[in-house]
């Protein structure tokens, strides 16, 4: 065996590896396939079973346990009693940990797992080209397992022990669940009157597998890939009548398929997705999906959005990805923050594109509930931040009113409760919203950090907003005046310096707006922390905020000006 260690880096052909003798314990499907492959590779193979394991294993270079999962531990205990203990003891189970080989490890053997990622229906199945997941208790044990795999004709890849269960779940999805899906599809076709459903479906199933093997998510075809949601709804209606028990599974798979379609579309544009986010629609699914992260005490980040994502949202998602272990994005056009004459019905929506952006930014979980799930019949509780913060600027009764912020704080409180994030991310573009949400979190002692990130702008300075889509080409050009006006106000203040009049800065900004034919709903300067009216520019940050209708779009923007920098600790 020492020879085997000496030759670790040698090519794995013939006797040069030093691997000569192999004890195979178990003569079932896997053992019965390993044995002929090992003999064909020129190994000296001894075969034993439970009861003869110690005698068979004694003196071998490697002993491989090919016994049922539940017997591995007991058979390993037998092997551990061998007088001439093999240096390496392994098993071939995907579901079982290395710890099942503890009895041999305790006596000084190095242990490994070598799991063929293939169904082995009978003894004598060829292992040629079969991928094999390899894990070792040491680098030497892993190398021995790789060498053995190659000698048996397999293609080894490394698998970390802590990811064994996830890996095995993947294997079950690809094999067992695909079979279950095929069987379910056949059942449905049979109920729909098709005679030999299995024969009818076989070409489709085989070509789907072959196409996926070649092209991955790009091989996806069908209604979801082409955004035909009407057909999806027709399927759901048909299932509700013919096979209602299949409806939850169909709906869950449709959501998963939307995420795959989004990833495919994003890749198609040349992007490299960081993840395929999971979509959940109910608070129960959300909690279940987050339970492992919560148990593990990992850092959860939440980015609340109303969808129709742009680079502003993406900057929040990327910040969450950098700062948190798990990134949750909510996607919900919240009806309670829209006034009766506002644009709730027209608000732009594109879930598939949103999922693609979420995938690009590395989002783990997208929470996209229906309105009646968030607000079921009987819903009667609201969260409201009182006082100045919600009565001024957008909260002025003549504008969106305090009811708008009541809608925002109510839904944000619900989202914070449902997700339980460590950090929630908001954009400075909605400056008043960020201040109001911070006040709510502080007043209600919510255990969450409210992070506020800078406004992301178009190259010409226009703040990115989902509502920019409402602008015609001519309005889009005029809309630049909002940021230009704020820039002029900030420059005026900075040039005039400490104590300069707010009035002058606002007048300069107002002129820029007027020149563009824009009459603002408001153009005001307020203390950037408590929103009280600001009198002069000085050492406190001043928020200059504007709201204006440009065509159909009501746009907002702001800048924070502090003409005297306060040196911390001075």
Ligand X SMILES: CC(C)(CO)[C@@H](O)C(=O)[O-]
Interacting residues with ligand ATP between 273 and 332 (CB under 6 A): 305-306, 312-313, 315-316
Q: Quick one: DSSP state of residue 457?
A: B
- 411 interacts with, out of ligand BAL, ligand X, ligand ATP, none, CB within 5 to 8 A per kind: ligand X
Give residue number: closest CB to ligand ATP.
Answer: 427
Distance CA 25, CA 353 (A): 53
The residue length of the chain stands at: 570
Any idea what the Cα angle at residue 225 is, between residues 196 and 305, rounded to 5°?
Answer: 135
Contacts of 156 (CB under 8 A, 6+ apart): 114, 131, 132, 133, 134, 145, 146, 149, 150
Judged by DSSP in three states, 226 sits in coil
Distance CA 152, CA 145 (A): 11
Q: Which stretch binds ligand X (CB under 6 A): 140-148, 180-188, 300-308, 519-527?
A: 300-308
Closer residue to ligand ATP, CB minimum distance, 8 or 467: 467
Element (DSSP H or E) covering residue 478: helix 473-478
- 60 interacts with, out of ligand ATP, ligand BAL, ligand X, none, CB within 5 to 8 A per kind: none
Reference 393, options 515, 516, 543; nearest CA is 543
- 389 interacts with, out of ligand ATP, ligand BAL, ligand X, none, CB within 5 to 8 A per kind: none
Q: Which stretch binds ligand ATP (CB under 6 A): 120-128, 149-157, 223-231, 464-472?
A: 464-472
Please confirm, yes or no, whether 313 is among the known catalytic residues. yes
Contact with ligand ATP (CB under 6 A) among 31, 369, 427, 510? 427
Closer residue to ligand BAL, CB minimum distance, 61 or 557: 557
x-marked contacts with ligand X along 311-350 as a string, rule CB under 6 A: -----------------------x--x-------------
Q: Which stretch binds ligand X (CB under 6 A): 246-254, 298-306, 354-362, 372-380?
A: 298-306
455 binds ligand ATP (CB under 6 A): yes
- 312 interacts with, out of ligand X, ligand ATP, ligand BAL, none, CB within 5 to 8 A per kind: ligand ATP
Beta-bridge mates of residue 135: 113
67 binds ligand ATP (CB under 6 A): no
Query: Tokens 């990811």 correspond to what residue?
Result: 163
Binding site for ligand BAL (CB under 6 A): 337, 430, 433
User: What are the start-end ranges of the E strands in 242-368?
Assistant: 278-280, 300-305, 326-331, 365-367
x-marked contacts with ligand ATP along 237-256 as a string, rule CB under 6 A: --------------------
Tokens of 530: 């408590």
Distance CA 148, CA 20 (A): 10
Cα distance between the two ends of the chain? 71
424 binds ligand X (CB under 6 A): no
Name the active-site residue from 91, 115, 168, 313: 313
266 binds ligand ATP (CB under 6 A): no
Closer residue to ligand ATP, CB minimum distance, 279 or 394: 394
3-state DSSP of 354-383: HHHHHHHHCCCEEECCCHHHHCCCCCCCCC
Indicate left, alpha or beta for 297 from its phi (over 0: left) and psi (-120 to 50: alpha): left
- Minimum distance between the CB of residue 364 and ligand X, rounded to whole angstroms? 18
303 binds ligand X (CB under 6 A): no
Dihedral, CA of residue 465, residue 471, residue 475 and residue 481, to nearest 10: -10
Q: Is the C-alpha dihedral spanning 32, 36, 37, 38 positive or negative?
A: positive
Q: Are strands 326-331 and 300-305 parallel, antiparallel or unpaired?
A: parallel
430 binds ligand X (CB under 6 A): yes
Closer residue to ligand ATP, CB minimum distance, 38 or 303: 303
- Minimum distance between the CB of residue 540 and ligand ATP, rounded to whole angstroms? 23
Closer residue to ligand BAL, CB minimum distance, 254 or 314: 314
Known binding-site residues for (R)-pantoate equal 337, 433
- Minimum distance between the CB of residue 385 and ligand X, rounded to whole angstroms? 13
Reference 27, options 146, 103, 120; nearest CA is 120
Tokens of 211: 């196409």
For residue 492, the tally of other CB atoms under 10 A from its CB is: 20
- Minimum distance between the CB of residue 389 and ligand X, rounded to whole angstroms? 15
Tokens of 432: 């008043």
- Minimum distance between the CB of residue 463 and ligand BAL, rounded to whole angstroms? 11
3-state DSSP of 119-187: CCCCCCCCCCCCEEEEEECCHHHHHHHHHHHHHCCCEEEECCHHHHHHHHHHHHHHHHHHHHHHHHHHH
- Minimum distance between the CB of residue 228 and ligand ATP, rounded to whole angstroms? 26
Distance CA 298, CA 280 (A): 20
395 binds ligand X (CB under 6 A): no
Judged by DSSP in three states, 414 sits in helix
Contact with ligand ATP (CB under 6 A) among 392, 450, 463, 546? 463
430 binds ligand ATP (CB under 6 A): yes
Radius of gyration of the chain from its Cα atoms, rounded to whole angstroms: 32
Beta-bridge mates of residue 553: 550
- Minimum distance between the CB of residue 319 and ligand X, rounded to whole angstroms? 15
Closer residue to ligand BAL, CB minimum distance, 127 or 456: 456
306 binds ligand X (CB under 6 A): yes
Closer residue to ligand ATP, CB minimum distance, 93 or 315: 315
305 binds ligand X (CB under 6 A): yes
- Minimum distance between the CB of residue 367 and ligand X, rounded to whole angstroms? 11
Known binding-site residues equal 306-313, 337, 427-430, 433, 456, 464-467
Element (DSSP H or E) covering residue 410: helix 402-419
- 456 interacts with, out of ligand ATP, ligand X, ligand BAL, none, CB within 5 to 8 A per kind: ligand ATP
Q: Which residues are catalytic?
A: 313
| Residues engaged in binding ligand ATP (CB under 6 A) | 305-306, 312-313, 315-316, 426-427, 429-430, 453, 455-456, 463-467
């Amino acid at each position: 065996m020492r020879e085997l260690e000496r030759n670790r880096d040698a090519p794995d052909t013939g006797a040069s590896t030093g691997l000569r003798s192999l004890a195979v314990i178990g003569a079932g499907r896997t053992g019965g396939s390993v044995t002929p492959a090992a003999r064909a590779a020129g190994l000296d193979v001894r075969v034993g079973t439970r009861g003869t394991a110690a005698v068979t294993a004694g003196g071998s270079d490697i002993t491989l346990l090919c016994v049922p999962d539940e017997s591995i531990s007991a058979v390993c205990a037998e092997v551990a009693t061998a007088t001439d203990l093999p240096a390496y003891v392994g098993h071939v189970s995907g579901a079982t940990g290395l710890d099942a080989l503890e009895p041999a490890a305790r006596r000084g053997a190095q242990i490994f797992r070598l799991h063929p990622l293939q169904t082995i229906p009978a003894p004598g199945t060829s292992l040629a080209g079969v991928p094999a997941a390899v894990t070792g208790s040491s680098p030497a044990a892993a190398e021995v397992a790789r060498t053995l795999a190659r000698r048996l004709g397999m293609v080894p890849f490394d698998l970390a022990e802590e990811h064994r269960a996830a890996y095995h779940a993947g294997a079950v999805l690809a094999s067992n669940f695909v079979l279950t899906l095929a069987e379910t599809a056949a059942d449905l076709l049979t109920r729909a009157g098709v005679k030999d459903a299995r024969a009818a479906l076989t070409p489709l199933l085989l070509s789907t597998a072959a196409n996926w093997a070649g092209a991955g998510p790009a091989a996806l075809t069908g209604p979801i890939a082409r955004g035909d949601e009407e057909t999806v709804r027709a399927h759901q209606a048909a299932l509700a009548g013919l096979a209602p028990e299949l409806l939850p599974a169909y709906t869950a798979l449709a959501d998963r398929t939307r995420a795959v379609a989004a990833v495919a579309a994003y890749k198609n544009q040349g992007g490299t997705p960081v993840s395929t986010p999971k979509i959940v629609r109910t608070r129960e699914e959300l909690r279940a999906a987050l339970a492992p992260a919560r148990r593990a005490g990992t850092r959860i980040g939440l980015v609340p959005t109303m969808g129709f994502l742009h680079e502003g949202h993406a900057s929040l998602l990327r910040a969450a990805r950098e700062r948190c272990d798990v990134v949750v994005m909510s996607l919900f056009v919240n009806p309670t923050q829209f006034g009766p004459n506002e644009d709730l019905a027209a608000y732009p929506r594109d879930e598939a594109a949103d999922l693609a952006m979420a995938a690009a930014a590395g989002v783990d979980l997208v929470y996209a509930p229906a309105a009646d799930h968030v607000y079921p019949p009987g819903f009667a509780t609201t969260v409201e931040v009182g006082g100045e913060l919600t009565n001024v600027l957008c909260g002025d009764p003549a504008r969106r009113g305090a009811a708008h912020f009541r809608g925002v704080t109510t839904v944000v409180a619900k989202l914070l409760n449902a997700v339980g994030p460590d950090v929630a991310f908001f954009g400075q573009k909605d400056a008043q919203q960020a201040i109001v949400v911070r006040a709510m979190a502080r007043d209600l002692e919510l255990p969450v950090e409210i992070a506020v990130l800078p406004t992301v702008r178009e190259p010409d300075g226009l703040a990115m907003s989902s509502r920019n889509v409402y602008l015609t080409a001519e309005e889009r050009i005029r809309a630049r005046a909002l940021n230009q006006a704020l820039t002029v106000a900030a420059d005026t203040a900075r040039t005039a310096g400490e104590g300069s009049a707010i009035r002058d800065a606002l007048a300069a900004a107002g002129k820029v707006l007027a020149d563009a034919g824009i009459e603002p709903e408001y153009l005001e300067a307020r203390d950037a922390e408590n929103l009280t009216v600001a009198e002069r520019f000085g050492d406190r940050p001043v928020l200059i905020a504007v709201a204006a209708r440009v065509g159909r779009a009501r746009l907002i923007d702001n800048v924070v000006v502090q003409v005297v920098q306060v040196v911390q600790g001075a």
